[in-house]
Amino acid sequence: MEYRIVHHKLQFIKAAKTSRNVFTTRDIRYVLLTKNGVTGIGEAAPLYKLSIDDVDDYDIKLNEVCKQLCENTPLLDIDLAKYPSIRFGLETAMHDLVNGGKRILFDTPFVQGNSIPINGLVWMADLDDMYDEAIAKIGQGYSCIKFKVGQHDFDAECRFLERIRTLHNAFNLEIRLDANGAFLADEAAIQLKELSRFDIHSIEQPIHVNQWDDMARLCRDSKIDIALDEELIGIDVYEKGEALVNHIQPQYLILKPNLIGGFKVSDKWIELCEKHRLGWWATSALESNIGLNAIAQWVSQYETTMPQGLGTGSLYSNNVEGPLQIINCAIHYGQTKWDLSEIV
């Protein structure tokens, strides 16, 4: 087996803002594994200031691991606990390779025409602009919208949500919030109580990570269901996953295979969700269509009707062209062929 790594910089059509970062570009490494004339493609892409493997020696490590694979070392035998996005990228490339290099990683109804419902996403912006974007999303038919919160004045964000709820009740529109850890632990309970007036479905990561006691209290007392997101990053699911879930007792987990260590690790988190009767959904971590395709196909193995966070492929002006399409508020695997000219 041979390997090649191709660097690519994705360009956002407009800046993607959260309470933590502003993204205008996204650095991608495409990993190409070739054997007997067949090439599998994966995407290794740590997320700036969030991934635990956003480190200076990343490219050195990626090359080392690729060389080990080419020397017939099984991927499972390589310690990548500190490099979750490398594991995700190589799992994707290996799945693609063994399935003929056609970007069909999992043989599920999704690649045969079935769609996966997705939520609409409204990034952080001026609140009037966020309102206009939300109204546009609703007009497109979205019945579930996620809003990034935590950057603006809290009272102003509440007035914004009240404007939305005045037009659309909870029966017609599911509202998810994502604070990206922006709330302070000693203020979050009061803020969540105030937000509960707006019939919020759930809020992702209301406070910063590694405050298990405070997060547990919020999960116990809040009228809004809480989903752990960044909290899973850097956690070894086999050693600490059970302890985290038992201690915090959240209502939901957010699974981002690129950030938490790939498909097998994500499968294990789902096992814990089923054991503890937690809900879950998957979201992208701003991957290109190569990574997004892998996540969508992986998700489609599970019977879930919850809208997934997989509508991010259209954020870029220079994404890889392929069969992924957003139609009627769902992601589809269509008939368009992959254009890999910038990769291969």
CA 125, CA 130: separation in Å to the nearest integer?
A: 6
User: Residue 65 corresponds to which amino acid?
Assistant: V
Alpha helices, H only, 280-344: 289-299
Q: Which residues lie across from 321 on neighbouring strands?
A: 339
146 catalytic residue (yes or no)? no
Helix (H, G, I), strand (E, B) or coil at 197: helix
Which one is catalytic: 9, 148, 223, 268?
148
342 token code pair: 């910038």
CA 132, CA 121: separation in Å to the nearest integer?
A: 13
Integer CA distances (angstroms), 2 to 40, 104, 262, 328, in order: 11, 20, 22, 41
256 catalytic residue (yes or no)? yes
Residue 304 neighbours by CB distance under 10 Å: 16
Closest CA to 41 of 91, 107, 81: 91
Which one is catalytic: 256, 264, 275, 337?
256
Are 290 and 319 spatial neighbours (Cβ–Cβ below 8 Å)? no
Alpha helices, H only, the chain: 58-70, 84-98, 127-139, 154-167, 188-195, 212-221, 242-248, 257-260, 263-276, 289-299
Known catalytic residues are 148, 256
